[in-house]
Amino acid sequence: MNVVASAFLPDRELAGDDLALVQRVRAFAAAQLAPHARRIDEEGEFRRASVRELGEAGILGGPIGPSHGGGAWTPLHVALANEELGAVCGNTRGFVAVQTGLVAQCLERFGDDAQRAEWLPKLCRGEVIGCFALTEEDAGSDVASLACRAHADGSGYRLSGRKIWITNGGVADVAIVFATIDPALGREGITAFLVPTDRPGLERTRMPGRELGHRGSDHATLAFADFAAQASEVLGGVGRGFAVAMGGLNAGRLSVAAGAVGIHRAALQAALEFTASRRQFGKPLVRFQMVQERLADSTTELHAARQLVWRCARLRAAGQETALDLAMAKVCATEAASRAADVAVQLHGGRGYTSAFPAERLLRDAAALRIYEGTSMIQKTIIARGLTST
């Protein structure tokens, strides 16, 4: 039976540079990521060689300006690339979102000339790895409640506190660390610091337990104890850390939403190919009405989610994006991807319950995207608040 998986691809809606970028990233993902995706998930391995390969392919520097070694991608290019990466390896897509969105783009926007010159070219080439040290035990969705302290010390600061669930944290060479100069100031006291990680006063340990998904990513706890940060390493200004954090999260949310579209697409393709080849009661599963209904619903949701992501990217390029636009794209894409991956597992039957087929990995990876860079519940709160001025 002929399988028309191309119905899930974005290609026929693209042309010129957009289409060329998609095809280039897709070819890279097939050649460099696909051979390792299952193994790094099963072994829990962070594959350092991928960092170099991503840098050489121009993917890590894609959104960054040419003056710092980047490719000056448009927001749509960022979305297109993250869909292609997400369709093949959620671990790599997650790494790219942190390296380019949370760290490099945040540095490009809020850093000073010296900070950008020192770190951006290296981040773009994959010579150094970055992390975004924001989340704490009691500061996740409520960023303003973080407890990590920055005590003034002569011409600099001393950082003390503990960060958890920091992607790339255990392997990062440079970190954007968020701390408060005074808890009584709330968000007005939050300050971001751009610091190398090889100084005394930082202990890094792997997060306990085994992750549900993204098992090939590096997730770490960072414990700062009297860690020295220079005044020149403040990013975006003293007391401006909340704006820096929101800027980084907004960049990351578009990548997460686009990556979810990629997972959705991969789950649909896996489900279609399996149901077209698997026969029961004398005919392929894909010929059964209830199977067709689930494939049809997932396909429709895929295209709807992709269009919301593209809409958000185009609004961002025009300087018209709002928090509501971004929240709609993220919650729609991540929730739809989770449903599509669940359908894929069900349509695989018992085979969907084993790592010999990709469906179960896609389901596990999709679950994380409903949490990263703001949970689905937080996104719905943002949407609801955006409907009223009160």
Gap between the Cα atoms of 352 and 355, Å rounded: 8
Q: Give the angle 104-107-109 at the CA atoms, nearest 5°.
A: 110
Determine the pLDDT at residue 252.
87
Q: What is the pTM of this model?
A: 0.94
Determine the pLDDT at residue 4.
66
Determine the pLDDT at residue 16.
97
Determine the pLDDT at residue 198.
96
373 is catalytic: yes
Q: pLDDT, tens digit, for every residue of 214-228?
A: 999 999 999 999 999
Cβ contact 159:229 at 8 Å: yes
* DSSP helix/strand/coil, 161: strand
Helices (H), the chain: 16-28, 34-43, 48-56, 75-88, 90-96, 106-110, 113-125, 241-277, 289-317, 323-348, 359-369, 376-385
Determine the pLDDT at residue 388.
83
Burial of residue 114 (number of CB atoms within 10 Å: 0-12, 13-18, 19+): exposed
Q: Going along 117-233, which residue ranges are E strands? A: 130-133, 149-153, 156-167, 174-180, 190-196, 202-206, 219-230
Determine the pLDDT at residue 2.
64
One digit per residue, the tens of pLDDT, for the chain of length 390 reads 666 668 899 999 999 999 999 999 999 999 999 999 999 999 999 999 999 999 999 999 999 999 999 999 999 999 999 999 999 999 999 999 999 999 999 999 999 999 999 999 999 999 999 999 999 988 767 777 898 999 999 889 999 999 999 999 999 999 999 999 999 999 999 999 999 999 999 999 999 999 999 999 999 999 999 999 999 999 999 999 999 999 988 888 999 999 999 999 999 999 999 999 988 888 988 899 999 999 999 999 999 999 999 999 999 999 999 999 999 999 999 999 999 999 999 999 999 999 989 999 999 999 999 998 889 999 999 999 988 865
Q: Which of 51, 232, 62 is nearest to 130 (CA)?
A: 51
Q: pLDDT, tens digit, for every residue of 36-74?
A: 999 999 999 999 999 999 999 999 999 999 999 999 999
Residue matched to tokens 């949407």: 383
Catalytic hit among 53, 83, 335, 373: 373
